[in-house]
């Protein structure tokens, strides 16, 4: 783990480089109803700058998935502010949030979440077609597959790929629209130790190379050495890990 940039779970005003990444301030989210309420996020502050790979660790039920959902505009917080590339991800309109998400956010899931019928290169072409006009030029899918070491498997479907290869395609797919923020949920859950290291090294490399702010939820303490910052989440509260 490198020592810079320093963890920034603070309420200081965002500078211009912060604004290009992810900024969450005093964010709270409750699930449930009046009878039973869970405080999934409790006054969370988080800044992830472009080029930074931030890891979030913590026990099951701590609120990690809730944090990713709010950061990507999938859920609206009860309180607080969330910006991605300076855009407000908490606006009431679901349609606006979807458009912002497609333009500025990429998601990587546990096991790639690829569409079974599509070849690797078509997995990357699809978000370019679905995205807003500004993302349609995006990155060249074949070039991006080359960057993640998948050139020779561009025409394979997911069932013809290993777990690590599927995850590489999932990462390339998330990057093809040139997002400002990448939200990554347990990318190594289905991988052995060597593949896990490869994948997180790749994420760190891509974050720096493309100036993307990456938030990775993980249970895998083995891969934290590749992360710039590590946060711990417990009972909805986020703290910089010592
Ligand atoms: N839709 C929901 N309705 C009610 N409670 C929910 C809902 N989604 C999550 N919760 C609760 O909110 C809390 C935080 O859940 P969350 O999924 O964010 O945790 P997590 O840290 O991602 O857990 P895990 O590591 O097991 O995936 C938990 O107590 C969970 O039971």
Rounded to the nearest whole angstrom, what is the distance from the C-alpha of residue 201 to the centroid of ligand 1?
Answer: 28
Q: Which atom of ligand 1 is nearest to the CA of 68?
A: 18
- The backbone region for 41, taken as left when phi is positive above 0, alpha when psi lies in -120 to 50, beta otherwise, is beta
Q: Where are the beta strands (DSSP E) in 33-73?
A: 37-48, 53-57
Q: Does the structure show a pLDDT above 90 at 2? A: no
Ligand 1 pocket test: pick from 30, 31, 37 the residue with the most ligand atoms within 8 Å of its Cβ.
31
Instruction: Measure the CA angle with vertex 19, ends 129 and 49; round to 5°.
Output: 85
CA distance 101 to 93: 12
For atom 7 of ligand 1, the residue with the nearest CA is 31
User: Is residue 186 exposed (0-12), middle (13-18) or buried (19+ Cβ within 10 Å)?
Assistant: middle
- For 196, the 3-state DSSP assignment is helix
> What does the block give as tokens for 153?
């498997």
Which of 200, 190, 242 has its CA nearest to residue 223?
Answer: 200
pLDDT bin (cut points 50, 70, 90) of residue 136 is low
Mean pLDDT of the chain: 88
Query: Which CA distances in Å does 60 have to 38, 56, 196, 233?
Result: 14, 12, 20, 10
- Residue 59 near ligand 1, beta carbon < 6 Å: no
Going along the chain from its start, the domains and CATH numbers come out as: 16-240 (3.40.50.300)
Rounded to the nearest whole angstrom, what is the distance from the C-alpha of residue 237 to the centroid of ligand 1?
Answer: 13
pLDDT of residue 191: 81
Rounded to the nearest whole angstrom, what is the distance from the C-alpha of residue 138 to the centroid of ligand 1?
Answer: 34
Rounded to the nearest whole angstrom, what is the distance from the C-alpha of residue 232 to the centroid of ligand 1?
Answer: 16
Q: Does the structure show a pLDDT above 80 at 138? A: no
pLDDT, tens digit, for every residue of 174-203?
A: 999 999 999 999 988 878 888 889 889 989
pLDDT bin (cut points 50, 70, 90) of residue 137 is low
CA distance 154 to 122: 8
Rounded to the nearest whole angstrom, what is the distance from the C-alpha of residue 234 to the centroid of ligand 1?
Answer: 12
Rounded to the nearest whole angstrom, what is the distance from the C-alpha of residue 90 to the centroid of ligand 1?
Answer: 19
Q: Residue 181 belongs to what H/E stretch?
A: strand 181-185
- Residue 60 near ligand 1, beta carbon < 6 Å: yes
For atom 29 of ligand 1, the residue with the nearest CA is 61
For atom 26 of ligand 1, the residue with the nearest CA is 60
Q: Does the structure show a pLDDT above 50 at 172? A: yes
Contact, 67 vs 44, CB < 8 A?
yes
Contact, 70 vs 41, CB < 8 A?
yes
Q: Residue 108 belongs to what H/E stretch?
A: strand 105-108
Query: Which CA distances in Å does 104 have to 90, 98, 180, 214?
Result: 14, 10, 5, 12
For 82, half-sphere exposure in the C-beta direction (CA atoms, 13 angstrom radius) is 29
Q: Does the structure show a pLDDT above 70 at 9? A: no
The stretch 69-93 carries a mean pLDDT of 96
Q: Which atom of ligand 1 is nearest to the CA of 67?
A: 18
For atom 25 of ligand 1, the residue with the nearest CA is 60
CA 94 from chain centre, in angstroms, equals 20
pLDDT of residue 139: 81
pLDDT of residue 4: 44
Q: Does the structure show a pLDDT above 60 at 110? A: yes
CA distance 192 to 123: 24
Contact, 173 vs 206, CB < 8 A?
no
- Residue 63 near ligand 1, beta carbon < 6 Å: yes
Radius of gyration, CA atoms only, the chain: 17
pLDDT, tens digit, for every residue of 48-65?
A: 999 999 999 999 999 999
């Amino acid at each position: 783990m490198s020592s810079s940039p320093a963890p920034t779970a603070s309420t200081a005003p965002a500078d211009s480089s912060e604004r290009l990444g992810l900024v969450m301030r005093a964010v709270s989210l409750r699930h449930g109803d009046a009878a039973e309420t869970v405080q999934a996020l409790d006054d969370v502050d988080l800044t992830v700058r472009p080029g930074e790979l931030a890891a979030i660790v913590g026990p099951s039920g701590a609120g990690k998935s809730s944090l990713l959902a709010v950061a990507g505009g999938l859920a609206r917080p009860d309180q607080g502010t969330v910006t991605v590339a300076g855009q407000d991800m908490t606006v009431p309109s679901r349609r606006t949030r979807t458009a912002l998400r497609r333009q500025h956010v990429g998601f990587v899931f546990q096991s790639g979440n690829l569409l079974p019928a599509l070849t690797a290169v078509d997995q990357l072409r699809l978000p370019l077609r679905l995205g807003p006009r500004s993302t349609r030029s995006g990155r060249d899918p074949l070039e991006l597959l080359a960057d993640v070491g998948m050139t020779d498997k561009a025409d394979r479907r997911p069932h013809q790929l290993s777990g690590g290869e599927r995850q590489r395609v999932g990462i390339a797919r998330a990057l093809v629209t040139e997002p400002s923020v990448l939200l990554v949920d347990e990318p190594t859950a289905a991988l052995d130790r060597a593949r896990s290291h490869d994948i997180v090294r790749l994420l760190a490399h891509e974050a720096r190379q493309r100036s993307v702010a990456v938030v990775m939820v993980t249970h895998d303490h083995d891969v934290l050495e590749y992360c710039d910052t590590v946060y711990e989440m417990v009972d909805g509260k986020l703290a910089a890990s010592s």
